[in-house]
Structure 1
Amino acid sequence: MATPSRHGRRVLGAAAVMICIFLVAVAPVATAIGVNYGTKGDNLPPPATVAAFLANRTLIDRVKLFDNNPDIVRAFAGTGISVMVTAANGDIPRLATKEGAAAWVAANVAPYYPATEISLVAVGNEIMDTGDQSLIGNLVPAMHALKAALDAAGYRRIRVSTPSSLGILVDSQPPSATRFRDGWDVAVFAPMLEFLRKTGSPLVVNAYPYFGYNGDTLPYALARPNNPGVLDGGTGITYRSMFQAQLDSVYSAMKKLGFEDVEILVGETGWPTKAMDGQVGVSPAEAAEYVRYLIGEVGSGSGTPLMPKRTFETYIFALFNEDLKPGPVAERNFGMFQPDFTPMYDVGIMKEAVKTAPTPAVPAAAHDSNATAPTQGNGSSSATASARPSEDGSTDKTPEEAGGGEAPSSPKSEPAVGNSSEAAPKGDNDDGGNSGKTKPEEGGAAQPPASEASRSTFPVSWVLAMALPLVVLHV
């Protein structure tokens, strides 16, 4: 075969570059999206089956556990999926000691790492919401001791943090005015953020637009195009995504303490497929809409108005519907999958085409974004929030149940960062601690539209089949 001429080589090189550019343009964008893997169900598949499913059939490359179950941690060995494990709330006082931290690492990290890629150890779950002064006082010392124990064992790449609900904030409207709760700002979060900055670990927050919406603000919570949004008078920014507003509220609180450079990781966020009968905005369609927005938002790398071009490692709540969870119906229906791995909706995270779970027909009014949410006992219009027993048997009350329409001033009430009067969640806690979510209840369901991501991916063979004739013609 004759050697191509210089002109032919130039054309060939140019064509090759064009092929590469086209392949990059049509390739799916890798996103920092993971999923929370809870286990409060009596019908869930074995951990090894779950790990194989995620690794082989989905694009999910990271999971967050609410405990350090050895069977689950071991199941992810060799899968390429990174795992965030959680030390139980009750372990915190012991973890605050050098001996206790070293023992925990020896028992819960050494047997599995690095075969299982443990990316971060979460020290408890939503500790500030527990009101337990022993846990709160030992939280930052436990983070220090655990990181020192990990480093001493040679596991320097494993980060250490602790998930918090948005209840750590006050003045959540507008985002520019937000700060950490008085007392906690100096005593807890300043030293915590100093630790996170020094170790390169993120501040983990659980952000749920679902708990901040009502019938009028559903388009804002779902970040629908052309929704009117909410103006922040302090910055002149109009937010058209409650999720972005929540993240910027956290950023503002951090900036007021001088730690705006610390990374933010979203430990939990999601939308249920079922809740209270007649509740506006809850079905597989809205759940798919929110998660599809979330994947696009996180994958775009555009950041938020106050944090442009930042990326946020984000974990969707949750992998499965969990039928043993207490509290409102929605609490058991945040899953992206049924226990048999049938997707509740399609957002393009499967490696092959899938059939979603069948859903019953619902009245058209159930999807009317202009309708009002169910009316509360105090006459306000908001998404219904119900009391949920905590893991220790106590009960978290909604503002209405506490005796009025206003949220209590206790640190255990979480502000809804957005245009809503509803109390936000307490966060999930599958590790046996004493924190619980306060969630709205049951609603209808509708078949979601097909994923846009699944319609925009072109096979490499198809691309090459089109491009190679062009190369030949120019050679």
Structure 2
Amino acid sequence: MFMVRVLIILLTGADASIGVNYGTLANDLPPPREVAEFLLHSTVINRIRLFDADPQILRAFAHTGIAVTVPVPNDQIPHLTNLSFAKRWISDHIQPHFPSTNIIRILVGNEVISTANHLLIRNLVPAMQSLHTALVSASLHRRIQITTPHSLGILSDSTPPSSAKFRQGYDTHVLKPLLSFLRTIGSPFVVNPYPFFGYSSDTLDFALFRPNPGLFDEDSKILYTNMLDAQLDSVYSAMDRLGFSDVEIVVGEIGWPSNGDKDQIGVDIATAAEFNKKVVARVNSGTGTPLMPNRTFETYIFALFNENLKSGPTSERNFGLFRSDLTPTYDIGILRPTVRTSNPESNPRSPVRGSSEKRWCVTKPGAETVALQRNIDYVCGLGLDCWPIKEGGPCYLPNTVEAHSSYAMNLFYQTMGKHEFDCDFDKTGKITALDPVISL
């Protein structure tokens, strides 16, 4: 029996936890006001992270209610230790736009520790303290948070997650005072986990939330089934070692490119759509991670647009959810239903389409029982409604791994929008137009 509960993947209003990074290193982007109107009226995204305090963009988001995170460039960090400079920065970049623009957070620098620039690193916490004092002077400290984002390069011994710690030297001299300051002012610790930068051909399924053997942590006895959980729990373990497990974690950047160089595996539109859709589902399920259960992490997908002026490999220019004409590179469920209805998939050119026909995902004949059990554990671990296949549930019988796996696989397939790749399950699933209930 296939009972599918409709799951609203993206929350709306103040409870939404998914935002997007709005980068502007491109020469073909629409005007900021058009972007703001598009996000407000055509998507359910209600928070953005900027990469510079562009006054035109800040004005564009005025009166939209969209929560905006504003950065301070790395090169300004040494100057910000001077309170007069910090007050002037707030006066020039924040006060002219607040509160009409809903500025909620200031990020002081970006991945400063990973720069290995000792001048910046030494002045990071003093700059944050000075900027917070400037906010207090302007009576804005209760409305605007101060923090700074980090790459996972701040960790050492991150596998398995329970053994993770911050890099020696930075742990007690930089990160401990930083975390103490964040705890005092009630701000989160921001990290930029990128499974894309951590995967190999052997760990692609682990990075993409697909069924896989997982990573077993001998110390905690936890089996990790996806890379994001392992990364976040590694950060948590490192924070816990310093005594700061109570400080909230925000995911400042996470994403997957839709195009890359020829030698890159798993870099295409379908895979990018799969990854980002699963991130959204995972974050908003409220499942949390093994070491941080029942948490919903505020998460910012990278990025809003492809940025054709970025340097580096091809993938660097192709993280965008949308093209410059505001059509989706692929759909991960962030367009409002009225937009999807008026323009199916909002982009007829996109090869990643869900099916409007009645179709189901079922177990492929001959699939191994061990693989099917992994499918069940994976789907139910996402926080989807597996109660019907529990003992006493209406779909518990027939009590076989094959039947329960078919239920779980179909639940995932229907919930995620009925894309073909959502029924792959490591080649153990197939799509059928025959109602499995009728065929029993």
Q: Normalised by the size of structure 2, how large is the TM-score?
A: 0.75
Aligned with residue 312 of structure 1, among 266, 279, 297: 297
Any idea what the Cα deviations from partners look like across 1:218-242, whole Å, max 9, x if unmatched? Answer: 1110111x31111111111110110
Any idea what the Cα deviations from partners look like across 1:227-275, whole Å, max 9, x if unmatched? Answer: 1111111111110110010000000000000000000000000000001
Does the CA-based 8 Å contact 1:92-1:142 persist in structure 2? Answer: yes
Residues 1:450 and 1:75: Cα distance change in structure 2 (over 3 Å):
farther
Coordinate RMSD, CA, aligned? 2.1
Does the CA-based 8 Å contact 1:343-1:357 persist in structure 2? Answer: no
Matches within 5 A, 1:280-291: 280-291=265-276
Kindly state the Cα deviation for residue 24 of structure 1 after the two structures are TM-superposed: 11
Residue 164 in 1 paired to residue 150 in 2? yes
Name the CA distance, whole Å, in 2 between partners of 1:450 and 1:42. Answer: 38
Residues 1:97 and 1:26: Cα distance change in structure 2 (over 3 Å):
closer
Kindly state the Cα deviation for residue 131 of structure 1 after the two structures are TM-superposed: 1.4
SS at the partner of 2:347?
coil
Residue 53 in 1 paired to residue 1 in 2? no
Any idea what the Cα deviations from partners look like across 1:308-350, whole Å, max 9, x if unmatched? Answer: 1112110000000000000000000000000001101111100
Residues 1:451 and 1:175: Cα distance change in structure 2 (over 3 Å):
same
Greater relative contact order structure (CA < 8 Å, 6+ sep): 1
* Residue aligning to 1:34: 19
**Unaligned 5+ runs, structure 1:** 1-22, 362-448, 456-475
Aligned with residue 127 of structure 1, among 73, 96, 112: 112
Residues 1:95 and 1:313: Cα distance change in structure 2 (over 3 Å):
same
Task: Kindly name which structure, 1 or 2, has the bigger radius of gyration based on alpha carbons.
Answer: 1
Kindly state the Cα deviation for residue 28 of structure 1 after the two structures are TM-superposed: 6.0
Name the CA distance, whole Å, in 2 between partners of 1:451 and 1:97. Answer: 55
**Unaligned 5+ runs, structure 2:** 353-411, 419-440
Amino acid at match of 1:35: V
Does the CA-based 8 Å contact 2:18-2:301 persist in structure 1? Answer: yes
Does the CA-based 8 Å contact 1:346-1:450 persist in structure 2? Answer: no
Name the CA distance, whole Å, in 2 between partners of 1:250 and 1:450. Answer: 31
Aligned with residue 92 of structure 2, among 107, 120, 124: 107
Any idea what the Cα deviations from partners look like across 1:67-105, whole Å, max 9, x if unmatched? Answer: 111111111011110000001111111111111111110
* Residue aligning to 1:335: 320
Name the CA distance, whole Å, in 2 between partners of 1:304 and 1:148. Answer: 35
Aligned with residue 256 of structure 1, among 238, 241, 249: 241
* Residue aligning to 1:366: none
SS at the partner of 1:336?
coil
SS at the partner of 2:126?
helix
- Of 250-259 and 281-290, deviating more is 281-290
After superposing on structure 2, the runs of 4+ consecutive aligned residues of structure 1 that deviate more than 2 Å are 23-31, 354-361, 449-455
Name the CA distance, whole Å, in 2 between partners of 1:340 and 1:72. Answer: 18
How many equivalent pairs are there? 345
Name the CA distance, whole Å, in 1 between partners of 2:413 and 2:35. Answer: 24
Does the CA-based 8 Å contact 1:342-1:357 persist in structure 2? Answer: no
Name the CA distance, whole Å, in 1 between partners of 2:47 and 2:413. Answer: 24
* Residue aligning to 1:322: 307
SS at the partner of 1:102?
helix
Residue 178 in 1 paired to residue 164 in 2? yes
Name the CA distance, whole Å, in 2 between partners of 1:66 and 1:299. Answer: 25
Any idea what the Cα deviations from partners look like across 1:109-145, whole Å, max 9, x if unmatched? Answer: 1000010010100001111111111111110001111
Amino acid at match of 2:311: P
SS at the partner of 1:205?
strand
Q: Normalised by the size of structure 1, how large is the TM-score?
A: 0.70
Residue 191 in 1 paired to residue 182 in 2? no
Aligned with residue 69 of structure 2, among 84, 105, 108: 84
Matches within 5 A, 1:290-301: 290-301=275-286
* Residue aligning to 1:242: 227
Amino acid at match of 2:346: K
